[in-house]
């Protein structure tokens, strides 16, 4: 994505946002892991998405 995305006319920097999302997964999902129950992935993804928005903002 970082090599082929053309950001010249983009309204937002999706590459930076996706990078932030993946970096915060080092916390949400790797350091802090939910119990192995239904909805565990939703919790990790939601918190990673929220944190990425804070970083991006
Ligand atoms: Zn994710």
Q: Give distance in angstroms: CA of 19 to centre of ligand 1.
A: 10
* Buried b or exposed e, range 19-47, using 16+ CB within 10 angstroms: bbbeebbeebbeeeeeeeeeeeeebbeeb
As a whole number, mean pLDDT of residues 1-8 equals 87
Residue among 24, 29, 30 at smallest CA distance from 54: 24
For ligand 1, a single-atom ion, the residues with CB < 5 A are 45, 48
Cα 24–Cα 26–Cα 28 angle in degrees, nearest 5? 65
pLDDT of residue 43: 96
Q: How far is the CA of 22 from the centre of ligand 1 (A)?
A: 6
Which pLDDT score, from 0 to 100, does residue 45 have? 97
Give the pLDDT confidence of 12-55 residue by residue, as tens digits: 889 999 999 999 999 999 999 999 999 999 999 999 999 999 99
Distance 48 CA to ligand 1 centre (A): 6
């Amino acid at each position: 994505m970082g090599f082929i995305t053309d950001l010249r006319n983009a309204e937002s920097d999706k590459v930076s946002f996706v990078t932030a999302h993946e970096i915060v997964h080092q916390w949400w999902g790797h350091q802090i892991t939910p119990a192995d129950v239904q909805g565990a992935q939703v919790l990790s993804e939601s918190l990673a998405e929220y944190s990425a928005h804070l970083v991006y903002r």
